[in-house]
Structure 1
Amino acid sequence: MNAQPLNGPDTPSGCPVAHGDADLTRLFGAEAATDPVGIYERLRKEHGSVAPVLLEGDVPAWLVLGYRDNRRVLDNPRQFSRDARIWRDWREGRVSETHPLIPMVGWRPDCVSQDGEPHRRLRRAVTDGLLEASGRGVRRHATHFANKLIDAFADTGRADLVADYAEQLPMLVLTRILGLPASDGLRMVESCAQVFKGGEDALEHNDRIIQILGELAERKRAEPGSDFATALLQHPAELDHEEVVSHLRLVLIAAHTTTSNLLARVLQLVLTDSARLSGLVGGQLNISSVVEEVMWDTPPLSVLPGRFAASDLELGGHHIQEGELLILGLAAGNLDPDVRPDSAVDVQGNQSHLAFSSGPHECPGQNIGQSIIEIGVDLLLHRLPGLRLAVPVEELSSTASTWESRLDRLPVEFSV
């Protein structure tokens, strides 16, 4: 394909006007970084449960805001394909292979980019590999690395639980599961973040991840081990080298980003609510119930890429054309007033949130992430007496990209 730049002669003002409106809401930039929920609510009032938006580079998409419409898209791959090769703006050259959206939206030889039997073949390899890897001691790895991280600041009486803990713990556990040295994993923390953030550096960081994981696959082919990489290489589905590396990348980026974000949000909720904190410390409250609440209110991925209309269809009162991109508003759907008119209603025990997606592409590694979070929170609360916020609650801030909203920092103090 001969890709053309986005600012071509047929796209006035650099915007491919797929929705008949050149003044669409952009899901990037200063407003989107600081008030994504406000944008979702404004779009819901203006357009209903589905809204036309622009992504980075003024690439058009449909943002699905309604809970039921999200379910429809996620549960119906025949109508809403995961195969980006049918993406009209890519096919027609308005999005090049070097566009910053490609690492998140573009086609790759992995299970999330396929439907039907190709998806089932690759998904089996991933689920079997994760089951085998998780059976070899995820909770033990999480305990080991959580203690190691806490040891580094336990004598200081202060820490930033985002930078010093939540950003590192999931990656360290994942390096053990995948078969990577811990040093390689920590180098990729920044790269995973940049892939989600987008911008000029997204492709460079994506290439760095691919290089490290490609070297891992070659190493494990020569020297097999008890890890996810070896499980993929030896699976009866007979994945080729590119498929193995793509699935290592998929698990690494998705699992680290979602788990680290969710861990930070759970800690934020616990440390800003004395009743929850005392309930967890005293054993009257279960960590899993707090995690469920966070997955409803601040899911680790705010927006999920991407689905593509397999034919012309209607969704949320809008006409969607074949090949157009849809992105799933998980955070907006969880707060949809049609299914949750009062966001303050107790959601403990209710697992029907959208945080893990739904349908055939539902997250296969959610139990691993939850185990890491449960261990991580429990050890912090019991190893650091008097754990408390070191700043007023109103000083806590978040920065959003198109796909997620991340807590910037979580300064704490505790007794030594």
Structure 2
Amino acid sequence: MGPGGLRRLFGHEAETDPMGLYERLRAEHGPVAPVLVNGDIPAWIVLGHRENMELARTPSRFSRDSRHWREMQEGKVPPDHPLAPLTTWQPIANLTEGEEHERYRKAITESMGRFDRRGIRRHVTRFANQLVDEFSADGRAELVSQFSEHLPMLAMTQLLGMPDEYGPRLVSAARDMLKGTETAVASNEYVVMTLRQTVANKREKPAQDFTTWLITHHSELSDEELEQHLRLVLIAAFETTANLITNTLRMVLTDHRFRANLAGGHMTLPDALEQVLWDEPPFITLLGRWATGDTELGGKPIRKGDLIISGLAAGNVDPEIRPDLSVPVHGNRSHLAFSGGPHECPGQDMARAIADTGIDALLARLPDLRLAVPEGELRWVSSIMSRHLVALPVEFSPHRAIAQGGTTGQTELPLTVATAGAPLPDAAVVAVAGVSEPQLRRSWWVRLLRSLRRH
């Protein structure tokens, strides 16, 4: 317990058992609990599903503008504070409200809307095959470091128009930033410096990519606004998608509910992704919102300037809405994984597309993929905002690499330009039951099912 009996959202308890910590807080305080963040700064964490939605949907009471933060105004959150990269106010969509927020959000969503979604999926498949080529002949792999962390960054560097070789260092810097470590500020500076160079390159040599479209958008973003929004998109997409891929793969390999449903032909990969977004959301909390005045939430008195943290993972298992966690939630997208309200994640469908396309490609290549260690030996690491597997070791029958640099030999589709604002369709993944024989022969679902029946 921290000063005055408050629990910390950092340190041993939070890092080793965050879900247990949230349940202890729920038992002690109800849907909204007082806590301490780094530096023993007081805050509130919202644990209830309904209270989280109220928090997200009432920006007039709970603003994303960190300039309301009383402790920051009082100088208790210096520039080198571990949370500074995530909370220091910047001219950016997730830290503004009203007309300013609408201007920024429209620039992001309309630029994203110009991508050809088939081209995105084709590029993700190509990158996934390239990653699998690096270990397919070994018969063993560690999927977090060799697949899940690198695929989203490869995809995002492609979409932003950056060289592929930027990916590995950006993976390390992004993870460090989100952990809120002592080197988080330096890692943030590296990311910003890289994006600053990317903006300069695209001003000199425009191309058909997100960076160029953001530069030329009618909102006329400044260089600082461009850099910070590229940072927001890159980091959020990386962490969300890397964790979603890893958690879904773990579920495929270990969860008996998934195996049973797969055997009956009732669960598709999009179903599995949504189940994971309920049970293990990529971000377990979201920093932060700040009270614009004295108010109340979940029966607790909130003072003007208080920091309020969205407990996404805790809200998703709120017994008020999920009294039995063993019951699947297929087709239900009312989870908190992408927040809600005017600040709901604008790139959530792209995260789903990268995840289900990448996993589909991996399992098509390695249909007998299986966990290489007992499930109980899997280890997790947590920070204030995220929780992810340290490693996911697997084994499989060795396979040769695909020719021509990991491509499928099919004609490459361009990333450009679709109808602006066109919705991203769900993955074209079908259940085993009810598909034609040619589809069955090439379906990884069937190959995986046969493998699961053997193990």
User: Aligned in 2, Cα 1:313/1:284: closer, same or farther, shift over 3 Å?
Assistant: closer
Structure 1 residue 23, shift from structure 2 partner: 2.8
Alignment correspondent of 1:372: 354
Residues 1:109 and 2:91 aligned together:
yes
**1:139-154 counterparts in 2 under 5 A?**
139-154=121-136
Residues 1:315 and 2:293 aligned together:
no
Residues 1:218 and 2:200 aligned together:
yes
Q: CA RMSD in A?
A: 1.5
Alignment correspondent of 1:256: 238
Q: Relative to structure 2, which stretch is displaced further, 314-323 or 127-136?
A: 127-136
Structure 1 residue 360, shift from structure 2 partner: 0.4
Residues 1:98 and 2:80 aligned together:
yes
Residues 200-220 of structure 1, C-alpha deviations (whole Å, 9 max, x = no match)? 100000000000000000110
**1:7-406 counterparts in 2 under 5 A?**
22-133=4-115, 135=117, 137-273=119-255, 276-277=258-259, 285-406=267-388
Preserved CA contact (<8 Å) 1:49 1:66: yes
Q: Secondary structure at the match of 2:289?
A: strand
User: Aligned in 2, Cα 1:181/1:235: closer, same or farther, shift over 3 Å?
Assistant: same
Residues 225-245 of structure 1, C-alpha deviations (whole Å, 9 max, x = no match)? 111110110000000000000
Q: How far, CA to CA, are the matches of 1:279 and 1:228 in structure 2? A: 38
User: Aligned in 2, Cα 1:178/1:283: closer, same or farther, shift over 3 Å?
Assistant: farther
Residues 333-376 of structure 1, C-alpha deviations (whole Å, 9 max, x = no match)? 00011111111112011110000110000010111111111111
- Code of the aligned partner of 1:81: S
Preserved CA contact (<8 Å) 1:280 1:287: no
Preserved CA contact (<8 Å) 1:307 1:325: yes
- Code of the aligned partner of 1:179: G
Q: Secondary structure at the match of 2:113?
A: helix
Q: Secondary structure at the match of 2:4?
A: coil
Preserved CA contact (<8 Å) 1:281 1:382: no
- Code of the aligned partner of 2:203: R
Q: Secondary structure at the match of 1:156?
A: coil
Q: How far, CA to CA, are the matches of 2:216 and 2:7 in structure 1? A: 47
- Code of the aligned partner of 2:283: L
Q: Relative to structure 2, which stretch is displaced further, 289-298 or 275-284?
A: 275-284
Q: How far, CA to CA, are the matches of 2:316 and 2:355 in structure 1? A: 21
Structure 1 residue 133, shift from structure 2 partner: 3.1
User: Aligned in 2, Cα 1:249/1:82: closer, same or farther, shift over 3 Å?
Assistant: same
Q: Relative to structure 2, which stretch is displaced further, 29-38 or 130-139?
A: 130-139
Structure 1 residue 277, shift from structure 2 partner: 5.0
Preserved CA contact (<8 Å) 1:90 1:96: yes
Q: How far, CA to CA, are the matches of 1:79 and 1:296 in structure 2? A: 27
Preserved CA contact (<8 Å) 1:281 1:381: no
Alignment correspondent of 1:5: none
Q: Secondary structure at the match of 2:286?
A: strand
Q: How far, CA to CA, are the matches of 2:351 and 2:109 in structure 1? A: 14
Alignment correspondent of 1:412: 394
Q: Secondary structure at the match of 2:315?
A: helix
Structure 1 residue 69, shift from structure 2 partner: 0.5
TM-score by length of 1: 0.93
Preserved CA contact (<8 Å) 1:134 1:368: no
Q: Secondary structure at the match of 1:159?
A: strand
Same amino acid, percent of matched pairs: 50
What stretches of structure 1 move > 4 A for 4+ residues in a row? 277-284
- Code of the aligned partner of 2:267: L
Aligned length: 397
Preserved CA contact (<8 Å) 1:126 1:232: yes
Q: How far, CA to CA, are the matches of 2:374 and 2:81 in structure 1? A: 40
Q: How far, CA to CA, are the matches of 1:329 and 1:95 in structure 2? A: 22
User: Aligned in 2, Cα 1:379/1:136: closer, same or farther, shift over 3 Å?
Assistant: closer
TM-score by length of 2: 0.85
User: Aligned in 2, Cα 1:282/1:376: closer, same or farther, shift over 3 Å?
Assistant: farther
Gap runs ≥5 in structure 2: 399-455
Q: How far, CA to CA, are the matches of 2:263 and 2:32 in structure 1? A: 42
Structure 1 residue 280, shift from structure 2 partner: 5.5
Structure 1 residue 65, shift from structure 2 partner: 0.5
- Code of the aligned partner of 1:380: L
